[in-house]
Amino acid sequence: AKFTLVDPETCIACGACGAAAPDIFDYDDEGIAFSRLDNNQGITPVSFQLKDDLEDACEGCPTESIKIAEQPFEGDPDKFL
Ligand code: F3S
């Protein structure tokens, strides 16, 4: 399974991820993205149906703020650095 979250420290609110993967990413009042799957905790497996959207969003992010891992992030974007 894949897990994902956004690093809000590096997101520049460009808005690409929600367009590529609207079922995964949404934005807060300031346009900073987060994963709607689990309030950006990175603990809910991304469903198989959303895998391509996730890859598109990750590749399209200009600041590499979308993190993907094979294990849960437990809310920490830097967990697997
Ligand atoms: Fe932010 Fe990257 Fe999405 S900059 S709005 S996480 S595409």
Per-position pLDDT tens, the chain of length 81 = 999 999 999 999 999 999 999 999 999 999 999 999 999 999 999 999 999 999 999 999 999 999 999 999 999 999 999
Cβ of 34: how many Cβ atoms within 10 Å? 20
Asked if residue 59 lies in contact with residue 26, where contact means CB atoms within 8 angstroms, the answer is: no
**Ligand 1 nearest-atom number relative to CA 25:** 3
* Pick from 45, 25, 41, 35: nearest CA to 74: 41
DSSP annotation of 63 reads T
Asked if residue 33 lies in contact with residue 18, where contact means CB atoms within 8 angstroms, the answer is: yes
Strands 33-35 vs 25-27: parallel, antiparallel or unpaired? antiparallel
CA of 17 to the centre of ligand 1 (A): 5
Q: Is 14 in the pocket of ligand 1 (CB under 6 A)?
A: yes
